[in-house]
């Protein structure tokens, strides 16, 4: 029996290997704010999402240790049973305040949040419309609704409008979901325009602030900032107290916040519904107390020092200026190389030079769009950024330019 299973696994792996798509987990030890150890070598990481280096912050570690001593290692059960330790309420109040929302609900992870929230709000009769480059767990959540899933071209508000014009009338409810900062491209969603279209078609809008909380909009994340003045909107889009025009703002505590966990900020009634209906909330154990305490400490730090929160974007902008790329809009800068093998080689070259810049390949990004994904953190040194840019320019980008005519000549 198990022979056929092993044979299946081996065949599948061999096929992936052939396309340079086999993945392996490489042991990586964090040595400090930006340094890691991999394959026995110290590297400066430009691949962590720990944008504010808070996973390594002394006061935040201390908060986690203290809560662990006080409440124990694990929550012991789902929040619905006995796992709702006292720190949850404090964290949720903080998140709601930061986002200008009436209420918040904390989940085990961002992935659990998206795969729980979306099917709790939309069902088989409804439609969900998702930006093509949104995170995989948004698509996973949309599929769990059992309803109609439509995908609009990346940041193409015209296309979103067309989809809603064609299909909105067939469904009692419509939900639009997008990353606010795109995880593999680093660009921003046009939240204001999307909110206009949502209002026009009586659709609900949800943003995923995984890569914007803590590092965009003075630390508050996007979805609450730079919105044009509201047009008249109907129904749900008007509700939600002071939280502006995006009634559903989810995010993660696993990136700039430095720990782990997901959340939704919304109106009190929506949060009450989520707490009653969301399967990933109550069929999964509550976050450990130490993790919740760390998130509280991290949010306090971000609130008290917005200049610090601005550093990752400043560093990313310095990098794009050095390479003549379009100015960074977030701490994520993609260097799209196209081919998976070429991207792996480029990543190995940087590793030899003391930098960790992980190659991102399909299916995480579309076919032919493999890339180096460079992420910047507050603690990166300017001289390291300059050296990284120089190596990428001379040995990866210009090396490819020099190769291209040869390839044509020999074709
Ligand atoms: C990382 C990420 C998630 C998942 O969050 P986790 O807390 O790591 O599970 C969700 N959405 C986006 C856009 C992400 O980048």
* Helices assigned H by DSSP within 214-263: none
Tell me if domain 18-47+310-403 and domain 56-305 are identical in fold: no
Give residue 404's pLDDT.
62
List the residue whose alpha carbon is closest to atom 6 of ligand 1. 110
First-to-last C-alpha distance (Å) of the chain:
49
Task: Report the separation in Å between the CA atom of 137 and the middle of ligand 1, taken as the mean of its atom positions.
Answer: 7
Does 10 score more than 60 pLDDT? Answer: yes
Q: Which residues 6+ apart lie within 8 Å of 403 measured at CB?
A: none
What is the Cα–Cα distance from 81 to 75, expressed in whole angstroms? 10
What is the Cα–Cα distance from 38 to 7, expressed in whole angstroms? 31
List the residue whose alpha carbon is closest to atom 5 of ligand 1. 110
DSSP reduced 3-state for 400:
helix
Does 410 score more than 70 pLDDT? Answer: no
Does 291 score more than 90 pLDDT? Answer: yes
Give CA angle at 88 (84, 90), nearest 5°: 145
Q: Which of 68-72, 109-113, 338-342 has the lowest mean pLDDT?
A: 338-342
Which H or E run includes 72? none
Give residue 72's pLDDT.
97
For domain 18-47+310-403, give the CATH number. Answer: 3.90.1150.10
State the catalytic residues: 183, 211, 255
List the residue whose alpha carbon is closest to atom 3 of ligand 1. 110
What is the Cα–Cα distance from 156 to 334, expressed in whole angstroms? 20
CB 328 within 8 A of CB 316: yes
Give residue 234's pLDDT.
32
- Pick 43 or 407 by higher pLDDT: 43
Which tokens in the block code for residue 32?
């400090």
pLDDT above 90: percentage of residues in the chain: 86
For ligand 1, whether the C-beta of 252 sits within 6 Å is: yes
Which tokens in the block code for residue 365?
């990004």
Instruction: Please write the tens of the pLDDT for every residue from 74-122.
Output: 999 999 999 999 999 999 999 999 999 999 999 999 999 999 999 999 9
Task: Report the separation in Å between the CA atom of 95 and the middle of ligand 1, taken as the mean of its atom positions.
Answer: 17
For residue 112, which atom of ligand 1 is closest to its CA?
9
Q: In testing the pocket of ligand 1, which one of 135, 180, 284, 298 has its CB within 8 Å of the most ligand atoms?
A: 135
Q: Where are the domains of the chain?
A: 18-47+310-403, 56-305
Q: Where does the pLDDT of residue 337 fall: very low under 50, low under 70, confident under 90, or very high at 90 and above?
A: very high
What is the Cα–Cα distance from 19 to 21, expressed in whole angstroms? 5
Task: Report the separation in Å between the CA atom of 237 and the middle of ligand 1, taken as the mean of its atom positions.
Answer: 24
Q: Which residues 6+ apart lie within 8 Å of 168 measured at CB?
A: 127, 174, 201, 202, 203
For ligand 1, whether the C-beta of 53 sits within 6 Å is: no
CATH of 56-305, one of 3.40.640.10, 3.90.180.10, 1.10.10.10, 3.40.50.300: 3.40.640.10
For ligand 1, whether the C-beta of 263 sits within 6 Å is: no
CB 262 within 8 A of CB 79: no
Task: Report the separation in Å between the CA atom of 394 and the middle of ligand 1, taken as the mean of its atom positions.
Answer: 33
Tokens 């400043």: give the residue.
Answer: 314
- Hey, how many other C-beta atoms are within 10 angstroms of the C-beta on 264? 29
Task: Sort 271 into a burial class: Cβ within 10 Å, 0-12 / 13-18 / 19+.
Answer: buried
What is the Cα–Cα distance from 134 to 1, expressed in whole angstroms? 39
Does 385 score more than 50 pLDDT? Answer: yes
What single string gives the DSSP state of each residue in 340-362?
A: HHHHHHHHHHHHHTTEE--EE-T
What is the Cα–Cα distance from 143 to 64, expressed in whole angstroms? 36
Q: Which residues 6+ apart lie within 8 Å of 257 measured at CB?
A: 54, 213, 214, 294, 295, 298, 299, 302
Give residue 21's pLDDT.
81
For ligand 1, whether the C-beta of 186 sits within 6 Å is: no
Question: What average pLDDT does this structure show over 60-67?
Answer: 98
Q: Where does the pLDDT of residue 246 fall: very low under 50, low under 70, confident under 90, or very high at 90 and above?
A: very high
Give residue 375's pLDDT.
98
List the residue whose alpha carbon is closest to atom 10 of ligand 1. 110
CB 180 within 8 A of CB 215: no
For ligand 1, whether the C-beta of 137 sits within 6 Å is: yes
Question: What average pLDDT does this structure show over 57-67?
Answer: 98
pLDDT above 70: percentage of residues in the chain: 92
Which tokens in the block code for residue 363?
């299916």
For ligand 1, whether the C-beta of 173 sits within 6 Å is: no
Q: What is the mean pLDDT of the chain?
A: 91
For ligand 1, whether the C-beta of 284 sits within 6 Å is: no
Give residue 133's pLDDT.
96
Task: Report the separation in Å between the CA atom of 328 and the middle of ligand 1, taken as the mean of its atom positions.
Answer: 20
For ligand 1, whether the C-beta of 115 sits within 6 Å is: no
Q: How far is CA 38 from CA 46, 80, 349, 357, in A?
A: 13, 40, 14, 12
Instruction: Please write the tens of the pLDDT for every residue from 314-325.
Output: 999 999 999 999
């Amino acid at each position: 029996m198990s022979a056929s299973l092993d044979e299946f696994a081996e065949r599948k792996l061999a096929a992936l290997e052939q396309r340079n798509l086999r993945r392996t987990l490489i042991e990586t030890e964090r040595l400090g704010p930006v340094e890691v150890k991999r394959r026995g070598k110290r590297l400066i990481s430009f691949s962590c999402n720990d944008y504010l280096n808070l996973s390594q912050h002394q006061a935040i570690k201390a908060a986690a240790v203290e809560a662990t001593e006080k409440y124990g290692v694990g929550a012991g059960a789902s929040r619905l049973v006995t796992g709702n330790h006292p720190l949850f309420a404090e964290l949720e109040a903080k998140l709601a305040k930061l986002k200008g929302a009436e209420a918040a609900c904390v989940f085990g992870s961002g992935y659990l949040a998206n795969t729980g929230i979306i099917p709790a709000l939309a069902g088989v009769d409804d439609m969900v419309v998702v930006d093509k480059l949104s995170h995989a767990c948004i698509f996973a959540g949309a599929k769990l609704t059992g309803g109609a899933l439509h995908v609009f071209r990346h940041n193409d508000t015209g296309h979103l409008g067309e989809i809603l014009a064609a299909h909105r009338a067939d469904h009692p409810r419509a939900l639009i979901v997008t990353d606010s900062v795109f995880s593999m491209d680093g660009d921003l969603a046009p939240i204001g325009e999307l909110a206009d279209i949502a209002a026009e078609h009586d659709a609900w809008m949800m943003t995923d602030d995984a890569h914007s909380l803590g590092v965009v909009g003075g630390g508050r994340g996007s979805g609450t900032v730079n919105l044009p003045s509201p047009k008249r909107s109907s129904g749900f889009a008007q509700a939600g107290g002071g939280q502006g025009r995006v009634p559903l703002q989810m995010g993660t505590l696993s990136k700039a916040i430095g720990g782990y966990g997901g959340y939704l900020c919304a109106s009190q009634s929506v949060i009450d519904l989520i707490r009653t209906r969301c399967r990933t909330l109550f069929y999964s154990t509550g976050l450990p107390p130490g993790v919740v305490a760390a998130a509280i400490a991290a949010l306090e730090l971000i609130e008290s020092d917005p200049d610090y929160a601005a550093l990752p974007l400043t560093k990313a902008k310095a990098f794009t200026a050095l390479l003549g790329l379009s100015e960074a809009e977030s701490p994520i800068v993609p260097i799209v190389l196209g081919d998976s093998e070429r991207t792996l080689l480029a990543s190995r070259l940087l590793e030899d030079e003391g930098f960790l810049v992980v190659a991102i390949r399909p299916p995480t990004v579309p076919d032919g769009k493999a890339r180096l994904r460079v992420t910047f953190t507050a603690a990166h040194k300017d001289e390291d950024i300059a050296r990284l840019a120089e190596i990428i320019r001379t040995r990866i980008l210009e090396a490819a330019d020099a190769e291209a005519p040869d390839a044509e000549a020999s074709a």
